[in-house]
Amino acid sequence: MDYFDIFIGILGSAVRLSIPLLFTALAGLFSERAGIFDIGLEGKMLVSAFASACAAYWTGNAWLGLAAGILVAIAFSFIHGFASITNRGNQIVSGVALNFVAAGLTIVLGQAWFGQGGRTAQVPGSGRFAPIILPGTDAIRDVPILGPLYANVISGNNILTYIAFLMVPISWWVLYRTRFGLRLRAVGENPGAVDTAGISVSWLRYRALIVTGFLAGFAGTYLAIAQSAAFINNMSAGKGYIALAALIFAKWKPVPVMLACLLFGFLDAFANFMQGKSLPLIGEVPVQIFQALPYILTCVLLAGFIGIARPPKAGGVPYTKER
Amino acid sequence: MSLDLPKEIEPAIELVGIDKKFGAVHANKNINLTVAKGSIHGVIGENGAGKSTLMSILYGFYHADQGEIRISGKPIVIRDSQAAIAAGIGMVHQHFMLVENFTVLENVMLGAEGGQLLRKGVASARKELKRLEDDYGLEVDPDAVVEELPVGSQQRVEILKALYRGAEILILDEPTGVLTPAEADHLFKVLRVLRDQGKTIILITHKLREIMAITDTVSVMRRGEMVATRKTSETTVEELAELMVGRRVLLHVEKGDANPGRVLLSVRNLTVRDARGVTMVDDVSFDVRAGEIVGIAGVAGNGQSELLEAIAGIRKPYSGEIFIDGKPVAGIDPAGLRDLGLAHIPEDRHHMGLVLKFEEYENSILGYHRDQRYGRGVMLDLDAMRKDAEEKIAKYDIRPPNPRLKTANFSGGNQQKIVVAREIERDPNVLIIGQPTRGVDIGAIEFIHKRIIDMRDAGKAVLLVSVELDEIRSLSDRILVMFAGKVVGEKTGDAGEQTLGLMMAGIAA
């Protein structure tokens, strides 16, 4: 294998690894731009992975799996909303609590239903999202550079991957070109302005959380029945937090979110590739360094080295009318 | 207590028997108010008199327990802000309800977008803004980002928002608090134009001068009641003040000539930068002598706060020197400065002056808690603290006179008195004060002003920072004007308001 093939291989794996991040970061984008911090993205991803694996196993239909994943993630969003919007609880506490609930509940239910130590049963082929070979792959396979790139990076992904990238312009359009988006961005900056304009702050934030649940549902589904064929204990493995880091890294904007997720996905793929290999002069580099890079980059950014990341001003603050 | 209106003038708003309680607090007691169409009506009263509650009821933020609201003679129920907007009521809030990183256009459209997609609404909003600009002289660039606009323009955006929604009745809550005198004049001009074109304006304020300058009629509120309504042309500042407070008040501070002695506080070439590295105080030098009050005038945000904080030892100066009684003190922490005879009444009592969750007696010694009088070693002597607090309560007439009450439960004026008592009773040589009477009622203002003059007459050096030009002018022996971090000029205490106003706007030195 020459270096180019290796590079293409890493790139393809980077795209696959960045998809759950992308869905989740876009999910977080909607709730955080509406002023609701959502540290519970991790938990939403996990429960939706579990739900989609179960539904896909029982029905043998991947789309029903997706629907189940989305519904459960939205349900979790509602709990977060009930605690932090309706009852004005602390958003971080509510999110962390939901993460714990997700981690515990999936194992307990998984054990009760499948008896495989928290795993779900293997989902049959029809219940999974299979890779799609785009037309023309064979025709241009032998074209230098473009051919392998098309065959291994652009083609050969499952439908959710393409949906993820489609969600980027759609999110941008919703946020910046629709009434809902204008109001959503406003409520994350100054809910008082929204309230005095005669718009319900609570309902607007609930709707933002529904979108969050919807997108997080895709992320979990991708993990369970597109990337793998079953739910495994704690299969989100901190991706929700990395997505949150990507969101901050991208300064809460849709297109930079995509780029940040691709970067973090690439780091992840590179870390996998480097496992057990040694670099000239340096020797074997611990994989953990690459795994820590997204967090380190985000810290560097937050410390203000790469411009100022200005979060939505009303983020994390429950809205109460004066007095 | 409505005013007898000539028959041909129809009322725009009538409030009949409005009553509102928040728990034990009776915020509005049986309020009756009639405002004629096409007039400017002032509502005046001290903080906590119930003005804001009443207007919030009118704007649908709260619901009255009893009473009726009529718009143009028709009774209506205002369930929420949407209903108020639909009834033609617009509100300009004291703290602007703007999304700061939105453009003017986006702010104006918010809540009245004209469809699910923005594109169509943007075009019509742009056209409508142009029309409003032409009709009322409300010029502001629709594509400017709000946070980059000066405060006066931001306020115009708020007015535009209301007019864009078709407001016929405009409520302005303390609109001039954040404006320069020139901006306030411009606002009044706009309000007159609006009135002449048939809009009805309700102006809520605690500034008597504004009432006299712009309103046609005025209502006075006191402790939740509407105590009087007058034609502005038939009343006087003195009468209104008395109605507000319920007793005669001295509006003008009486003070003798200053008797300046040696320099007690000296600032030399002081430069202060904020966390972002922006220069907030730029090469400022001045002296304050024993027995004089030096006032620093300026529109909020021109470096006064940073100057005060640097002198108080809270903010490290970037360069320059500060001397107290000849001793260089830059870099000494606030506790060290207190030992050197400096006392600081901070601008913001809630964030810097008090811990609102503490009981009164705890706040009354805060910062002096290491003092031998209040304890020994690591132990506090609670009895001594409480006794000390009781003495201050009696001397400063702090109400309710209960040192065990949580500080948050005192009114703004009494909270400020707690801070003032704490700092003045230490008998400092140098007293620096920020916004001594912000959010304080007239009765307490009079009291605090007197204490400040007493300090001067006792031979102390007083540095006073206030955005209330009236306050600066009536207390100061010398006035320094700050603009964009620099002292742009010095005037004597009797300088004219217009001269100072121009200097504050950076126009003349």
Instruction: Determine whether the interchain pair B97/A180 forms a contact, defined as Cβ–Cβ distance below 8 Å.
Output: no
CB atoms within 10 A of CB A105: 15
Map residue B156 onto helix, strand or coil: helix
Q: What distance separates the 2 farthest-apart alpha carbons in chain A?
A: 70
Instruction: Determine whether the interchain pair A180/B116 forms a contact, defined as Cβ–Cβ distance below 8 Å.
Output: yes
Q: Which residues are bridge partners to B229 per DSSP?
A: B219
Number of domains in chain A: 1
B108: closest chain A residue by CA: A197
Decide if B25 touches A, using CB distance below 8 A: no
Range with lowest mean pLDDT among A159-163, A175-179, B36-40, B147-151:
B147-151
Instruction: Determine whether the interchain pair B110/A198 forms a contact, defined as Cβ–Cβ distance below 8 Å.
Output: no
Radius of gyration of chain B from its Cα atoms, rounded to whole angstroms: 25
- Cβ contacts below 8 Å, chain A against chain B, sum to 74
Range with lowest mean pLDDT among A120-129, A283-292, B185-194, B379-388:
A283-292
pLDDT bin (cut points 50, 70, 90) of residue B1 is very low
Interface with A, mutate which of B99, B164, B170 (most A CBs under 10 A): B99
Give me the residues of chain A with pLDDT under 70, please: 1, 302, 304-308, 322-323
Token reading at B146: 């709000």
Structural domains present in chain B: 1-88+169-249 (3.40.50.300), 96-167 (no CATH), 263-504 (3.40.50.300)
For residue range B424-473, list pLDDT tens digits in order. Answer: 998 999 999 999 988 787 778 888 999 999 999 999 999 999 988 889 99
Handedness of CA A244, A250, A254, A260 (dihedral sign): negative
pLDDT at residue A153, rounded to an integer: 84
Q: Are B226 and B50 in contact (CB under 8 A)?
A: no
Name the DSSP class of B21.
E
pLDDT at residue B205, rounded to an integer: 87
Q: Are B240 and B44 in contact (CB under 8 A)?
A: yes
Handedness of CA A168, A173, A178, A184 (dihedral sign): positive
- Return d(Cα A259, Cα A246) in angstroms, integer: 9
Of A316, A82, A91, residue with least CA distance to A188: A316
pLDDT bin (cut points 50, 70, 90) of residue B84 is very high
For residue range B234-275, list pLDDT tens digits in order. Answer: 999 888 888 888 877 766 778 888 889 999 999 999 999 987
- Return d(Cα B156, Cα B127) in angstroms, integer: 17
Given a cut of 60, whether residue B159 has pLDDT beyond it is yes
Nearest to A192 among B97, B111, B112 (CB): B97
Q: Is residue A112 part of a domain?
A: yes
Q: Which residues are bridge partners to B288 per DSSP?
A: B265
Of A297, A269, A274, residue with least CA distance to A285: A274
Q: Is A276 left (phi over 0), alpha (psi -120 to 50) or beta?
A: left
List A residues 24-53 in contact with B (Cβ-Cβ < 8 A): none
pLDDT at residue A304, rounded to an integer: 66
Q: Are A246 and A145 in contact (CB under 8 A)?
A: no
Given a cut of 70, whether residue B5 has pLDDT beyond it is no
Chain B positions touching A251 (Cβ under 8 A) are none
Q: How far is A55 from chain B (nearest CA, A)?
A: 35
Q: How far is A315 from chain B (nearest CA, A)?
A: 13
Q: Is residue A199 part of a domain?
A: yes
Q: Is residue A103 part of a domain?
A: yes
pLDDT at residue B100, rounded to an integer: 92
CA angle (A176 as vertex; A175, A178 as ends), nearest 5 = 80
CATH number at residue A91: 1.10.3470
- Return d(Cα B361, Cα A152) in angstroms, integer: 73
Map residue A258 onto helix, strand or coil: helix
Given a cut of 50, whether residue B162 has pLDDT beyond it is yes
Q: How far is A201 from chain B (nearest CA, A)?
A: 12
Given a cut of 80, whether residue B509 has pLDDT beyond it is no
Q: How far is A182 from chain B (nearest CA, A)?
A: 7
CA dihedral A134, A136, A138, A143 (to 10 degrees): -120
Instruction: Determine whether the interchain pair A185/B111 forms a contact, defined as Cβ–Cβ distance below 8 Å.
Output: no
- Return d(Cα B91, Cα B104) in angstroms, integer: 17
Of B153, B174, B167, B178, residue with least CA distance to B98: B153
Chain A positions touching B91 (Cβ under 8 A) are 196
B162: closest chain A residue by CA: A197
Instruction: Determine whether the interchain pair A198/B102 forms a contact, defined as Cβ–Cβ distance below 8 Å.
Output: no
pLDDT at residue B200, rounded to an integer: 96
Instruction: Determine whether the interchain pair B97/A196 forms a contact, defined as Cβ–Cβ distance below 8 Å.
Output: yes
CA distances to B105, B323, B373, B386 from B94, rounded to whole Å, are 21, 39, 43, 38
Q: Provide the CB-side half-sphere exposure for B446 (13 A, CA).
A: 14
Decide if A303 touches B, using CB distance below 8 A: no
Chain B positions touching A177 (Cβ under 8 A) are 117-119
Decide if A256 touches B, using CB distance below 8 A: no
Handedness of CA A280, A282, A284, A285 (dihedral sign): negative
pLDDT bin (cut points 50, 70, 90) of residue B420 is very high
Q: Is residue A38 part of a domain?
A: yes
Residue A158's domain comprises: 18-302
Of B80, B207, B197, B102, residue with least CA distance to B157: B102
Residue that has been written with the tokens 């702010």 in this structure: B107
The residues near A48 (Cβ < 8 Å, ≥ 6 apart) are: A68, A69, A70, A72, A73, A216, A217, A219, A220, A221
Interface with B, mutate which of A33, A175, A177, A179 (most B CBs under 10 A): A179
Q: What is the mean pLDDT of residues B73-87?
A: 91
CA angle (A76 as vertex; A82, A321 as ends), nearest 5 = 25
Instruction: Determine whether the interchain pair B80/A198 forms a contact, defined as Cβ–Cβ distance below 8 Å.
Output: yes
Map residue A214 onto helix, strand or coil: helix
Name the DSSP class of B314.
S
Instruction: Determine whether the interchain pair A196/B119 forms a contact, defined as Cβ–Cβ distance below 8 Å.
Output: no
Q: Is residue A142 part of a domain?
A: yes
Instruction: Determine whether the interchain pair B91/A196 forms a contact, defined as Cβ–Cβ distance below 8 Å.
Output: yes
Q: Is residue A311 part of a domain?
A: no
Q: How far is A25 from chain B (nearest CA, A)?
A: 22
Q: Are B359 and B405 in contact (CB under 8 A)?
A: yes
Q: Is residue A208 part of a domain?
A: yes
Residue that has been written with the tokens 């065959």 in this structure: A151
- Return d(Cα B160, Cα B116) in angstroms, integer: 22
Asked if the ipTM is above 0.85, the reply is yes
Of A68, A20, A33, residue with least CA distance to A211: A33
pLDDT at residue A323, rounded to an integer: 42
Instruction: Determine whether the interchain pair A189/B93 forms a contact, defined as Cβ–Cβ distance below 8 Å.
Output: no
Of B246, B99, B69, B74, residue with least CA distance to B171: B69
